Amino acid sequence: MEFSVKSGSPEKQRSACIVVGVFEPRRLSGVAEQLDQVSDGYLSGLLRRGDLEGKAGQMLLLHHVPNILSERVLLVGCGKERELDERQYKQIIEKTIHTLNETGSMEAVCFLSELHVKGRDTYWKVRQAVEAAQAGLYTFNQLKTRKEEPRRPLRKLVFNVPTRRELPIGERAIQHGLAISKGVNICRDVANMPPNICTPRYLAEQSQALADNYENVTFTAVDEKQMAELGMNAYLAVGRGSEHESVLSLIHYQGADADTPPIVLVGKGLTFDAGGISIKPAANMDEMKYDMGGAASVLGAMQALAELQLPINVIGAIAGCENMPDGKAYRPGDVLTTMSGQTVEVLNTDAEGRLVLCDTLTYIERFAPEAVVDVATLTGACIVALGHHASGLMSTHNPLAHELLNASEQSGDRAWRLPLWDEYQEALDSPFADMQNLGGRDAGTITAACFLSRFTKKYHWAHLDIAGTAWRSGAKKGATGRPVPMLTQFLLNRADHGQHD
C-alpha cells in the first residue's frame, strides 16, 4: 500500500474518502467541524439524531455529503477526547483501515493523524498509523489454494499534518514505519511457516535471500561439521534427534567503517520443539513451530535495518535447530561440554534453547561486539509472569537495559525488566557439572537468563524473553512480528546518538 503526507483543508480534498474523528458524547473533532460548516450542519445533524455516539471504534460511512468534494466521509469514533491514548489510537487506526478496505474506498485522506494523543508528536502518530495499517492488512495465505481478496482494496492512504512545516517529519515517519512493517511482515511470514517447510536450512536460505537484495549485507553460515570442530557440543546435542541439520546463519550488515564494533542480535531458531526425550504434552504442540520466534524477529530487524541503511554495523546470528525425540537424541542426565569449556548437566531436554544459545553467545565473541541482544521464546514462566503484553528483559549492563526499555516505550512494543541478581544463580548448581540446564520451578525466566549470563562475560549483553509476545493462540492464531519494532527502534537510536559507552 502507498502512504504519503500532505497539509490541507478537509473540504478541499478530492478523494474517494475523507476520514475524520468524532469524540464522545457526539462531539465533532476540529477537522470534522470544518466539514460540518461547509456542509451546512449536515454532520452535526446526524449526531443529534443519534447516528453516532463517538465511542472508540464506532464507524459511520457517509456518501455524497453536501458541498464536499470527496465521494465519502468516514466518521470514526475516538472515545473521550482527554482519554485518547496510544493503545486506543492504534486500535482506531486498525479499525479504520479495515472499514476502508471492506467498503470499496481505494484511496483515502486521513485526518486522524491530527488528533491529540497524550505525550505523542506527529512523527509518532504517522509512524504508528503506518505500522497499524500494515499490521491490519497482513494475511498469511501462501499455503491456501483459495485466496480471498477484497474486490476493491485500499491502495493509497494520505495522512494530513497540521502545518506544512511538519511535512518532512511525516515523510520520515512513513519511511521508518514502512521499513519496520516490512521487517515485521518478514518475521510473521517466516514464523508462520509450518515446520516441514521452515527448517534450519530454510532460515539460512531466508538469510541468504536478504543478503542478495542489499549490497552492504553479506551471509555466512556455520554447519554441523564446523560446529563439531569448534566444540559447540551443547548446540549439536539439541539437534541430534532431528533429521534436519542444525545451521547457525550469520547476516552481516555494514553501514559504518569495517573497524567499528558491531551490535550483535542473536535469535533462538528452534524450528520445531517437541521437547526431545522430555517430550511436551500433545495439546497445542503445533504452536512449537513458533519456537523460532527469536530468529524470525532478528531476520525481520535485519530486513528493516537494510531498508533504513543506518550508519552502524550489525550482525544477526540466527541459531537454527530442531529438538526431536530419537535414538540419537540427547538425554536427561547427559553432561555436555560447551564451546566455552564450561560443562552442563542436562536435567530436562525441553530446556534446550539455552543450550543452543550458550554456544552461539560464545561463538560471537570473535566479532568483539559493542553490545549483544539475544531474543528467544525461552520460558513458559515468562508468560506466567508478564502475560502476553510485555516481553521480559534481563541484562547485566544497566545502560543497555535502559536503552532497550526506552526503545520499547518509543515503539509501543513493550518490555519489562526483571532482576538478574547473583542470588538466583545458586538454582543452577549441579553436583556433577559446572551447572545444570534447569533452575527449578521458581523464577524460571530469571534462572534461564542466569544460565545465559555465564556465557556473556566478554561484552555488554541483554536478553529478551518473547515467549508471551511472539505469537497469538486461538481463533486468530499467528505470529505477531514482535519484537521487531523494539529492536529496530534500538538500532535507530544507536544510529542517531552514535556509539554508547
Q: How far apart are alpha carbons 100 and 96 in whole angstroms?
A: 6
Of 354, 414, 454, 494, which one is the catalytic site residue? Answer: 354
Please report, as a single letter, which amino acid is at residue 41: G
Q: How far apart are alpha carbons 455 and 339 in whole angstroms?
A: 10
Peptide bond preceding 194 in cis form (omega within 30 of 0): no
Choose among 467, 477, 485: nearest CA to 140: 477
DSSP structure string for 88-103: HHHHHHHHHHHHHHHT
Question: Where on the phi/psi map is residue 399: left (φ > 0), alpha (ψ -120 to 50), or beta?
Answer: alpha
Helix (H, G, I), strand (E, B) or coil at 180: helix
**Biggest CA-to-CA distance, the chain:** 84
* b/e 378-398 (16+ beta carbons within 10 angstroms → b): bbebbbebbebebbbbbbbbe
Q: Which three cell numbers stand for residue 303?
A: 530486513
Q: Is 434 labelled a binding residue?
A: no
Q: Is 268 labelled a binding residue?
A: yes
Of 26, 280, 417, 458, which one is the catalytic site residue? Answer: 280
Q: Is 359 labelled a binding residue?
A: no
Choose among 406, 392, 393, 401: nearest CA to 468: 392
Helix (H, G, I), strand (E, B) or coil at 293: helix
Choose among 365, 245, 246, 364: nearest CA to 316: 364
Q: Is 273 labelled a binding residue?
A: yes
Q: Is 352 labelled a binding residue?
A: yes
Helix (H, G, I), strand (E, B) or coil at 145: coil
DSSP structure string for 469-494: TSEE-GGG-EE--TTHHHHHHHHHHH
Please report, as a single letter, which amino acid is at residue 436: Q
**Residues 390, 414 contacting (CB under 8 angstroms):** yes
Per DSSP, helices labelled H in 105-166 are: 122-137
Residue 403 makes CB contacts below 8 A (sequence gap 6+) with: 490, 493, 494, 500
CA 455 to chain centre: 25
Q: How far apart are alpha carbons 474 and 190 in whole angstroms?
A: 19
- Is 125 a residue of the active site? no
- Is 354 a residue of the active site? yes
**Residues 467, 448 contacting (CB under 8 angstroms):** no
Residue 257 makes CB contacts below 8 A (sequence gap 6+) with: none
Choose among 296, 302, 300: nearest CA to 316: 302
Query: Mind telling me the catalytic residues?
Result: 280, 354
Which residues belong to the annotated binding site for Mn(2+)?
268, 273, 291, 350, 352
Which residues belong to the annotated binding site?
268, 273, 291, 350, 352
